[in-house]
Structure 1
Amino acid sequence: MKRASLLLALAGVSLAAPILRLEGEVEGPLVLTTPGLEVEAEGAVLRGRKGHTLSLLAPGIRVRGLKVVGAGGGDDFFEPDAAVYLRGCEGCLLEGLEVEGAPAAVRLEDSPRAKVQGLRARGLGASPGVLVYRSPGAQVVESHLAGFMDGIYAEYSPGLVLRGNRLTGHGRYGFHVMFSWHVRVEGNESWGNGVGNAVMHGAENRVRGNRLHGHRSPLAYGLLLQDERGSQVEANRFQENTLGLVLLDAAQVGVRGNRFQENGTALRITREKGGNSARVEGNLFLGNLYDLLVDDPEAKAQVVGNAYDRASGLPVPHLPSSSFALLLARQPELSLLALSPGVLLWEGAEAQVPGLRLLSLADPQALALPPSRRAHAPLLLLGLLGGVLWWRFRT
């Protein structure tokens, strides 16, 4: 700590181990390597212009109430300069951190059970707000992130917890989780991001109680679940997205108790390499242009006990998809006819008398809801056209 102590003394900061008190304006970068150090920084401002502004390189360090302004200019997505960089920082805590003018707010690597709570940060558009890498049991909670490439990006972090965050206006994803398992994404609100949100290449993850809305660009979705096994999507609200929920090569997935409202397509099941299997149960479908679109001919989808504003209430299985919806997957230019009287009549008749090809998608326990007014239909129709074009030509 000799070098660090000298830096702190020059900055006018007092050090009384294991407590470090930061006051007023402090020039970075600062590197802290004392295990268990408590950093009291309420009202202090740490400024940086090169590299990481604050580096925490020992277990158990706790930083509270700090404002960090600036960092180096490195904005590589996977190795950005960060306001706060954690490495080997097992069990560390960042609480009440505020960040301005840094490529990344927090870069967290090889730091099991580290926790970021109450972060407030606005990004520069090229890097993640919080980057989590190889940090089992890490947590990002109750934070508000805006204007990054991804709000939260995580890789190889089993047991990760993302809870109670607000993620808005990011260039790509609100949250983006890769190569992880037993992850919990709970109670977050994500809206108005360029693409949406994604959980990919993992297993036994849970996405529960989130509000995912306002993702309307031609390639946008509330949530993409790709190459996942045994994961659960429960009690979320998908609203005003081009595509609400997309299952892509997702096996043994549960989709339960969600509310799909005013999306272009509420639930899309599609494939790239593998197959899909899902149980879709107890969801609400309200005001969507299409409730279900399946363009994986080998998908094993159990659709049971959902409520629809298009169900007739008659004692017959309700078909939440249609042969026209399947045709759209192959000829997306036909989206412009989706609200035409002829197609609506076709789909209405088919819903009452499902064809043999579609009978496996019929819901034998469907509940009928009052018809919804599709107030955003023109906008969602354009979004649907863009969405199916993108899915068709994405490779």
Structure 2
Amino acid sequence: MRTLGLLPLLALASAGPVLRLSGEVRGPLVLTTPGLLVEGKGAVLYGERGHTLSLLAPGIRVRGLKVVGAGPEDDFFEPHAAIYLEGCAGCLLEDVEVEKAPAAVRVEDSPGALVRGLRAQGLGQSPGVLLYRSKEAAVEGSHLSGYMDAIYVEYSPGARIQENLLEANGRYGFHVMFSWGVRVEGNLSQGNAVGNAVMHGAGNRVVKNLLLDHKTPLGYGLLLQDERETEVAANVFGGNTLGLVLMDAQGVRVVGNRFRQNGTALRITRERGGNSARVVENAFLGNLYDLLVDDPEAKAEVQGNAYDRAPGLPVPHLPASSFALLLARQPELSLFALSPGVVLWEGVEGQVPGLRLLSLADPKPKPLPREEGVRVGPLLLGLLGGVLWWRWRV
């Protein structure tokens, strides 16, 4: 059965499992034919109420369509969407463009659904792509901006977020909640108001992403909160107020990342639980602080990382000065971080490693040459971010 809504008959021609749209088409359009192929290249589907295009059967494929508008509901969890999938296992959206809709694509109870090559500009309040209870669904090769969260994933084990451009969104680029086995790989997430987050899950992997320029006072490249056995590997964290934040994260592996020009590269903080992490083979360059810890019971193995502050001697290196450790517990001292006295204090510690505190020390550090022209802007935001982070938590 196929429900076409208010659709001019001259706008389409169907032949068996293929529906070809052309010209301007007025929605809403509801499709319930399993395995239907919708060819929409050159067509524009307009909507003003509800979901503009609904796919309600397995295996439907939509290619090349442009969708403009949807109903007005912009509730974050139940927004009206340009394209809505429910019970649409294995469905495919490919090379679709969306404008002027609260959400671009809303996917529910549709395992294995794939969104590929989506281009969408949001209205600011809803997710761009929402994956809910959709095992192994995926978003790849897409460009999303102007949403609250570009991609929001909830209760969708095995989901994949790969090779997307996520920029200038109102909160997060990618936001994963209550899911496990999710792979976030090869994305460029930049200039979002807060950053990116993976929360309340287990066994997730965040690898080979560029997480850049989240410079608001509370901005971070990535927040891992209440995660278990999650891996953060081979990412670049650059120009963020806070690079990577671990909050109540257990068994986390932070491996082979590059932290460059952040206010604070890695922050380990505690809300209700505790933290344990393995931090190995990362590179720290041009950060105001490489490591801040405000969890007194944190268990962190820090080993074999490369630092532009390492003394080049065969001695352990603490990637945070004693002032930085104090700062993590009393963020209001951020105001003094660039004062001549503190700069001298940290300089002396850098030349005389025996004065350093040895908790959380890296026993096998690798020295890196210092970078020239360290940008002061994100570093100062790092100081302010430390204060506001502490104030926000209490």
TM range (shorter): over 0.9
Q: Residue 261 of structure 2 corresponds to which residue in structure 1?
A: 262
Q: Helix, strand or coil: the match of 2:341?
A: helix
C-alpha distance after superposition, 1:72-123 (max 9, x if no partner): 1111111111000000000000000000110000000000000000000000
User: Contact 1:216/1:240 (CA < 8 Å) preserved in 2?
Assistant: yes
Measure the CA separation in 1 of the matches of 2:169 and 2:337. 31
Q: Helix, strand or coil: the match of 1:112?
A: coil
User: Contact 1:113/1:138 (CA < 8 Å) preserved in 2?
Assistant: yes
Measure the CA separation in 2 of the matches of 1:275 and 1:332. 20
Q: Residue 127 of structure 2 corresponds to which residue in structure 1?
A: 128
Measure the CA separation in 2 of the matches of 1:171 and 1:340. 34
Q: Residue 386 of structure 1 corresponds to which residue in structure 2?
A: 384
- 1:9 CA drift (Å): 5.7
- 1:286 CA drift (Å): 0.3
Q: Residue 272 of structure 1 corresponds to which residue in structure 2?
A: 271
Q: Residue 189 of structure 2 corresponds to which residue in structure 1?
A: 190
- 1:389 CA drift (Å): 1.8
Q: Residue 317 of structure 1 corresponds to which residue in structure 2?
A: 316
Measure the CA separation in 2 of the matches of 1:103 and 1:198. 21
Measure the CA separation in 2 of the matches of 1:6 and 1:99. 20
- 1:6 CA drift (Å): 7.4
- 1:158 CA drift (Å): 0.3
Measure the CA separation in 2 of the matches of 1:5 and 1:269. 53
Q: TM-score, normalization: structure 2?
A: 0.97
- 1:393 CA drift (Å): 1.6
Q: Residue 216 of structure 1 corresponds to which residue in structure 2?
A: 215
- 1:346 CA drift (Å): 1.7
C-alpha distance after superposition, 1:286-333 (max 9, x if no partner): 000000111111000111000000111011111101221122123323
- 1:190 CA drift (Å): 0.4
Output aligned runs, 1:361-376, within 5 Å: 361-376=360-375
C-alpha distance after superposition, 1:137-166 (max 9, x if no partner): 000000000111110011000001000000
Q: Residue 353 of structure 1 corresponds to which residue in structure 2?
A: 353
C-alpha distance after superposition, 1:40-91 (max 9, x if no partner): 1111110001110000000000000000011111111111110000000000
Q: TM-score, normalization: structure 1?
A: 0.96
Q: Residue 16 of structure 1 corresponds to which residue in structure 2?
A: 15
Does the alignment pair 1:88 with 2:93?
no
C-alpha distance after superposition, 1:8-64 (max 9, x if no partner): 563531122211111111000000000110111111110001110000000000000
Q: Residue 97 of structure 2 corresponds to which residue in structure 1?
A: 98
Q: Residue 170 of structure 2 corresponds to which residue in structure 1?
A: 171
Q: Residue 151 of structure 1 corresponds to which residue in structure 2?
A: 150
Does the alignment pair 1:248 with 2:267?
no
Measure the CA separation in 1 of the matches of 2:90 and 2:123. 28
Q: Structure 1 residues 74, 294: CA separation in 2 closer, same or farther (over 3 Å shift)?
A: same
Measure the CA separation in 2 of the matches of 1:148 and 1:368. 41
Q: Which runs of 5+ in 2 are unaligned?
A: none
Q: Residue 69 of structure 2 corresponds to which residue in structure 1?
A: 70
Q: Residue 297 of structure 2 corresponds to which residue in structure 1?
A: 298
- Alpha-carbon RMSD: 1.4
Question: In structure 1, what residue type is equivalent to 2:284?
Answer: F
Does the alignment pair 1:35 with 2:34?
yes
User: Contact 2:5/2:27 (CA < 8 Å) preserved in 1?
Assistant: no
C-alpha distance after superposition, 1:338-382 (max 9, x if no partner): 1233212322333443568x41311111011111235312x1243
Measure the CA separation in 2 of the matches of 1:55 and 1:387. 43
Measure the CA separation in 1 of the matches of 2:177 and 2:169. 18
Q: Helix, strand or coil: the match of 2:388?
A: helix
User: Contact 2:316/2:365 (CA < 8 Å) preserved in 1?
Assistant: yes
Q: Structure 1 residues 27, 6: CA separation in 2 closer, same or farther (over 3 Å shift)?
A: closer
User: Contact 1:319/1:354 (CA < 8 Å) preserved in 2?
Assistant: no
Q: Which runs of 5+ in 1 are unaligned?
A: none
Measure the CA separation in 1 of the matches of 2:355 and 2:313. 17
- 1:388 CA drift (Å): 1.2
Measure the CA separation in 2 of the matches of 1:363 and 1:314. 12
User: Contact 2:7/2:26 (CA < 8 Å) preserved in 1?
Assistant: no
User: Contact 2:7/2:27 (CA < 8 Å) preserved in 1?
Assistant: no
Deviates more, 1:341-350 or 1:38-47: 341-350
User: Contact 2:318/2:359 (CA < 8 Å) preserved in 1?
Assistant: no
Q: Helix, strand or coil: the match of 1:68?
A: strand
Q: Number of residues paired by the alignment? A: 392
- 1:337 CA drift (Å): 2.0
Q: Helix, strand or coil: the match of 2:11?
A: coil
Measure the CA separation in 2 of the matches of 1:353 and 1:375. 24
What is the identity percentage for the equivalent residue pairs of Structure 1 and Structure 2?
Answer: 69
Measure the CA separation in 2 of the matches of 1:95 and 1:118. 6
